[in-house]
């Protein structure tokens, strides 16, 4: 992936993002569209809170019995004439998919939008092996042309403006009339529709992810708005579904419950346009549909999260609500995280996927404001899990020395009230003197990164405890 995994240089990435006005302007749209949409949709459904509880309980039950539901799902897929493959990690999944493509003699591969294929780096792997998959979701198609990675899990090209898309299309669709008008989003969409229609119709293999795997029926479910996922999975002879193991839910009723949460939380729609259940390959007499149906079940670290302090994260349904509401994401966009999954859910998942050493910034780069948890349809305690990563970082002595020293000094002082009182008294007095009549300091000792951006309000003078004692109070 050209974006690469650069969580280690998060502060540098963030700085670059903050100095990129078109990016910031693009992200600002989220407030009205996704955040506003979610608010309106959830307010219009009185049962939304009860559905969140039910959704959480369904996933918790499914995770508690994950082995059994996966076995049940597998049985039903096989009964319906499909194949199930098990992939322990990304390399396994890539190899299995390449193998299926080769056996199918695949020249042309189309893809529906899927974060899990981003997680395993499928596109790059297939390309190295002579197969160039075409992304068909409009946003994914745009970033594929740009050689980028998604900056948002449901709005992959949210960082791109329409002028950039027009330039990309002119470059990529060089055979079209160079004088054509591409000013409006409608003309951009029409062009992508035309170009991709050809790809859909000529593909040998279609690869999608899955929003749900249904144990009761052996169905894989995709939820989309454009219809590209459906064209990807019904037109080619072979349909491959790559899904992580925690996507399994017991029954259709359980899908219905979570469906009611998903689109409302993601885009503010009551229901996405297309929710499609696929069960096995085409049946005898069917006029269309794939002749072969493969499901690749991916673990990639998830089985180790079960039973750990990060188990709740496996309830995630990838709606992106935490991302849309995160003040940090809203300041810097998704690429700065340098990880496959951005925002709060990404900051919790990424250390599990790529190691804490490479991603320790992510858990720290949060104000722990808790808005993510408050909008999470699955009630995942994201701030708590970010704090868990901070604890692991501290335990493993990965915390920067300066911060560790500061904490130790604070702890030493705070456990010694007299010394603490003296130090704070001197500090408050000193800063108040320094500020003089101004009431605020434009610069202050040890507060450089505060005063770089804002004034430091000066202390009133004496500390509360001194003043209290002066009044002879108990």
Partner 1 sequence: MSSRDAILGRIRRSLGASGSDATRLAAVRHRLAETPVNVVPARGQLPSSERVDLFVRKAGEVFASVARLEGREDIPGAVVSYLRDRNLPQEIRRGDDRRLADLPWEREAQLAVTTGPSDGSDLVGLSHSDAGVAETGTVVLTSGTDNPTTLNFLPDHHIVVVDASTVAGDYETVWAELRRRFGAGVMPRTVNLVTGPSRSADIEETLLLGAHGPRSLHILVVG
Partner 2 sequence: MTTPKPRVALFVTCLVDFFRPTVGFSAVKLLEDAGCDVYVPAGQTCCGQPAYNSGDRAGARALAERVITLFEGFDHVVIPSGSCAGMIKTHYSDLFSGEPGWRLRAEALADKTHELTSFLVDVLGVSPLPVTWEGTATYHDSCSGLRELGIKEQPRRLLSAVDGLTVKEMADPEACCGFGGAFCVKYDEISNAIVERKVADVRGTGAELLLSGDLGCLLNISGKLRREGSSVEVRHVAEVLAGMATGPAIGESRK
Nearest approach in angstroms of CB 296 to partner 2 is 36
CB of 363 to partner 1, least distance (A): 22
- Of the ranges 185-193, 407-415, 424-432, 463-471, which one interacts with partner 1 (CB under 8 A)? 185-193
Identify the residue among 201, 407, 419, 422 touching partner 1 (CB under 8 A): 201
Residue 460 beta carbon to partner 2: minimum distance, rounded to whole angstroms: 6
3-class state of residue 297 by DSSP: strand
456 counts as binding partner 2 under rule CB under 8 A: yes
Part in contact with partner 2 (CB under 8 A); list of ranges 174-182, 264-272, 293-301, 406-414: 406-414
Buried b (16+ CB within 10 A) or exposed e, 437-461: eeeebeebeeeeeeeeeeebebbee
Among 6, 8, 9, 18, interactor with partner 2 by CB under 8 A: 18
Alpha-carbon torsion, ordered 423, 424, 426, 429, to 10 deg: 170
Separation between Cα atoms, residue 286 and residue 284, nearest integer Å: 6
9: which DSSP letter? G
Contact 319, 211 (CB under 8 A): no
Q: Which of 116-124, 275-283, 374-382, 398-406 is the region at the interface with partner 1 (rule: CB under 8 A)?
A: 275-283
How does DSSP assign 235-278, residue by residue?
A: SSSEEEEEEEGGGEES-HHHHHHHHHHHHHHHTS-SS-SEEEEE
Residue selected from 403, 422, 433, 443 as contacting partner 2 according to rule CB under 8 A: 403
Residues 6+ apart with CB under 8 A from 409: none
In the set 107, 129, 308, 374, which binds partner 2 (CB under 8 A)? 374
As measured in angstroms, the least distance from the Cβ of 327 to partner 2 is 5
DSSP state of 89: S
Record the tokens describing residue 169, joined without a space.
Answer: 């299309």
Instruction: Determine, following the binding rule CB under 8 A, whether residue 420 of this chain makes contact with partner 2.
Output: yes
Contacts 24+ apart (CB under 8 A), 280-286: 280/77, 280/79, 280/80, 280/81, 280/82, 280/218, 281/80, 281/81, 281/82, 281/239, 283/81
427 binds, among partner 2, partner 1, none (CB under 5 to 8 A by kind): partner 2
How far apart are CB 167 and partner 2 at their closest, in Å? 27
d(CA 244, CA 298): 4
Angle between helices 343-354 and 356-364 (to 10 degrees): 160
The region of 124-132, 154-162, 339-347, 459-467 touching partner 1 under the rule CB under 8 A is: 154-162
Q: Please identify which residue in 91, 256, 271, 414 interacts with partner 2, judged by CB under 8 A.
A: 414
Reduced DSSP (H G I as helix, E B as strand, rest coil) percent helix, strand, coil of the chain, to 5? 55, 10, 35
Kindly indicate which of the ranges 31-39, 121-129, 336-344, 375-383 contains the residues binding partner 1, using the contact rule CB under 8 A.
Answer: 31-39
Count other C-beta atoms under 10 Å from residue 45's C-beta: 14
Q: Which of 85, 159, 239, 371 binds partner 2 (CB under 8 A)?
A: 371
Beta bridge partners of 133: 109
Measured from the CB atom, is 107 or 440 closer to partner 2? 440
Nearer to partner 1, 10 or 73 (CB): 73
Q: What x-and-dash track marks residues 281-310 binding partner 1 by CB under 8 A?
A: xxx-xxxxx-------x-x---xxxxxx--
Handedness of CA 345, 348, 349, 354 (dihedral sign): positive
Asked if 87 interacts with partner 1 (CB under 8 A), we say: yes
Q: Which residues of 319-345 are buried (b: 16+ CB within 10 A; e: fewer)?
A: bbbbbbbbebbbebbbbbbbbbbbbbb
- Check residue 438 for interaction with partner 1 (CB under 8 A): no
* Member of 5, 98, 196, 435 binding partner 1 (CB under 8 A): 196
Site string for partner 2, 286-325 (x = CB under 8 A): ----------------------------------------
Q: Does residue 454 touch partner 2 according to CB under 8 A?
A: yes
Residues in the chain: 474
Per CB under 8 A, residues contacting partner 2 are: 11, 14-15, 18, 327-328, 330-332, 364-371, 373-374, 387, 389-395, 399, 403, 407-408, 410-411, 413-415, 417, 420, 424, 427-428, 437-440, 442, 447, 449-450, 452-460, 462-465, 467-469, 473-474
């Amino acid at each position: 992936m050209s974006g690469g995994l650069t969580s280690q240089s998060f502060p540098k990435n963030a700085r670059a993002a903050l100095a990129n006005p078109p990016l910031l302007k693009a992200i600002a749209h989220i407030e009205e569209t996704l955040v506003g949409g979610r608010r309106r949709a959830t307010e219009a459904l009185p049962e939304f809170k009860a559905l969140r509880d039910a959704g959480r309980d369904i996933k918790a039950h499914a995770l508690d019995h994950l082995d059994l539901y996966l076995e049940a799902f597998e049985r039903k897929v096989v009964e319906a004439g499909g194949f199930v493959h098990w992939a322990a990690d990304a390399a396994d999944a890539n190899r299995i998919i390449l193998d299926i493509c080769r056996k199918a003699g695949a020249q042309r591969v189309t893809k529906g939008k899927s974060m899990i294929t981003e997680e395993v780096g499928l596109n790059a792997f297939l390309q190295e092996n002579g197969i160039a998959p075409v992304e068909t979701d409009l946003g994914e198609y745009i970033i594929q042309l740009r050689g980028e990675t998604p900056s948002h899990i449901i709005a992959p090209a949210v960082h791109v403006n329409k002028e950039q898309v027009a330039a990309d299309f002119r470059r990529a669709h060089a055979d079209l009339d160079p004088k054509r008008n591409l000013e409006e989003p409608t003309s951009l969409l029409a062009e992508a529709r035309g170009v991709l229609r050809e790809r859909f119709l000529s593909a040998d293999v279609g690869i999608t992810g899955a929003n749900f795997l249904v144990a009761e029926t052996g169905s894989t479910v995709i939820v989309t708005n454009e219809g590209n996922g459906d064209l990807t999975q019904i037109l080619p002879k072979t349909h491959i579904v790559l899904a992580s193991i925690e996507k399994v839910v017991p029954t259709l009723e359980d899908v219905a419950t979570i469906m009611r949460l998903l689109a409302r939380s993601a885009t503010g729609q009551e229901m996405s346009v297309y929710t499609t259940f696929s069960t096995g390959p085409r049946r005898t007499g069917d006029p269309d549909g794939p002749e072969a149906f493969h499901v690749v079940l991916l673990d990639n670290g998830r089985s180790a999260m079960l039973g750990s302090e990060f188990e709740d994260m496996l309830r995630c349904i990838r709606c992106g609500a935490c991302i849309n509401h995160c003040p940090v994401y809203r300041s810097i966009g998704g690429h700065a995280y340098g990880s496959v999954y951005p925002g709060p859910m990404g900051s919790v998942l990424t250390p599990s996927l790529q190691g804490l050493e490479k991603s320790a910034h992510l858990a720290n780069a949060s104000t722990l404001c808790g808005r993510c948890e408050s909008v999470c349809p699955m009630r995942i305690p994201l701030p708590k899990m970010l704090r868990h990563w901070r604890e692991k970082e501290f335990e493993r002595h990965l915390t920067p020395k300066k911060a560790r020293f500061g904490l130790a000094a604070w702890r030493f002082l705070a456990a010694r009230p007299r010394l603490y009182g003296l130090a704070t008294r001197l500090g408050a007095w000193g800063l108040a003197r320094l500020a003089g009549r101004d009431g605020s300091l434009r610069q202050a000792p040890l507060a450089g990164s505060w005063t770089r951006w804002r004034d430091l309000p000066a202390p009133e003078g004496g500390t509360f405890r001194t003043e209290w004692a002066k009044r002879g109070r108990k």
